[in-house]
Structure 1
Amino acid sequence: MPCLASAKGPPSIGAEDVAEAVSRVLESLTRSSGVDGWTVEVVGGEARGGAAHDTAQEGLMPSHLERMRKDLELEDSAAPGVQSLDRFDHIYGVRRTAAGKVRRLDIILAPSEEFAMALVGWTGSRTYLRLLRQHAKDVGMYLNSHRLLRKIDGKARLVPDEAPPIVKGGREAWPVGWHAGRRILRQEDVFELLGVPYREPADRNCP
Structure 2
Amino acid sequence: ATLLCLCKICYFCIVERAVILVFDGFRTLEDIRTKANLNHSQIIGLKHYDDFLDRMPREEAAAIEETVKEAAQFLDPGLLAMACGSYSRGKDTCGDVDVLISHPDGKSHRGVFSKVLQSLHQSGFLTDDLVSHEESGEHKKYMGVCRLPGPGRLHRRLDVIVVPYGEFACSLMYFTGSAHFNRSMRALAKAHVFCLSEHSLNSDMLRQGSLKVYGGTPRPTLTEKDFFTHLGISFREPQERDW
Q: What interval of TM-score do these two structures reach, taking the shorter chain for normalisation?
A: 0.5 to 0.7
SS of corresponding position for 2:121: helix
* TM-score w.r.t. length of structure 1: 0.67
Is the Cα–Cα contact under 8 Å of residues 61 and 97 in structure 2 kept in the other structure?
A: no
Match status 1:192 vs 2:239: no
Question: Looking at both structures, which has the greater relative contact order when contacts are Cα pairs under 8 Å and sequence separation is at least 6?
Answer: 1
Indicate if the aligned counterparts of 1:24 and 1:72 stay in contact, CA closer than 8 A. no
CA distance in 1 between counterparts of 2:59 and 2:94 reads 18
User: How far off is 1:116 after superposition?
Assistant: 0.8
Number of aligned residue pairs:
167
Distance 1:55 1:104 in 2: 6
* Alpha carbons of structure 1 residues 69 and 25: separation in structure 2 relative to 1, 3 Å: same
Structure 2 gaps of 5+ residues are 1-51, 99-111, 207-212
Taking the TM superposition and a 5 Å limit, the aligned residue runs for 1:1-207 are 10-11=54-55, 13-31=56-74, 34-50=75-91, 53=95, 63-73=114-124, 74-78=126-130, 88-99=139-150, 100-102=152-154, 103-151=156-204, 155=214, 156-160=216-220, 184-206=221-243
- Letter in structure 1 aligned against 2:217: R
Q: Which has more radius of gyration? A: 2
Cα distance in 2 for residues equivalent to 1:24 and 1:54: 15
TM-score, reference length from structure 2: 0.58
Shift of 1:95: 1.4
Specify the code of the residue in structure 2 equivalent to 1:111. Answer: P
Partners of 1:86 and 1:195 in 2: how far apart?
Answer: 28
When the two chains are superposed, the root-mean-square deviation of aligned CA atoms in Å is 3.2
The answer as to whether partners of 2:171 and 2:198 remain within 8 angstroms in 1 is yes
The whole-number CA distance in structure 2 between the counterparts of 1:126 and 1:72 is 33
Q: Is the 8 A contact 1:69 1:91 kept in 2?
A: no
Distance 1:146 1:22, change over 3 A: same
1:31-65 residue CA offsets vs partner (Å, 9 max, x unmatched): 4xx32211121111111122655899xxxx95335
d(CA) in 2 for partners of 1:66 and 1:45?
A: 23
Deviation, 1:87, is: 5.9
What is the rounded CA distance, in whole Å, between the counterparts of 1:55 and 1:95 in structure 2? 10
Pick the structure with more helix per residue: 2
Question: CA separation in 1, counterparts of 2:233 and 2:227?
Answer: 9
In terms of mean alpha carbon deviation, does 188-197 or 67-76 score higher? 67-76
Structure 1: state its 5+ residue gaps: 1-7, 80-84, 161-183
Alpha carbons 2:71, 2:119 under 8 Å: kept: yes
**8 A contact 2:96–2:158 mirrored in 1:** no
Whether contact under 8 Å (2:85, 2:97) holds in the other structure is yes
**Identity within the alignment, %:** 28
Residue 28 of structure 2 corresponds to: none
Which stretches of structure 1, 4 residues or more, deviate above 3 A after TM superposition?
8-11, 51-56, 152-155
User: Displacement, 1:108?
Assistant: 1.1
Aligned CA distance change for structure 1 residues 72 and 195 (closer, same or farther; 3 Å): farther
Q: Supply the AA of the counterpart residue of 1:25.
A: V
State the AA in 2 paired with 1:29. A
| Kept after mapping to 1: 8 A contact 2:95/2:157 | no
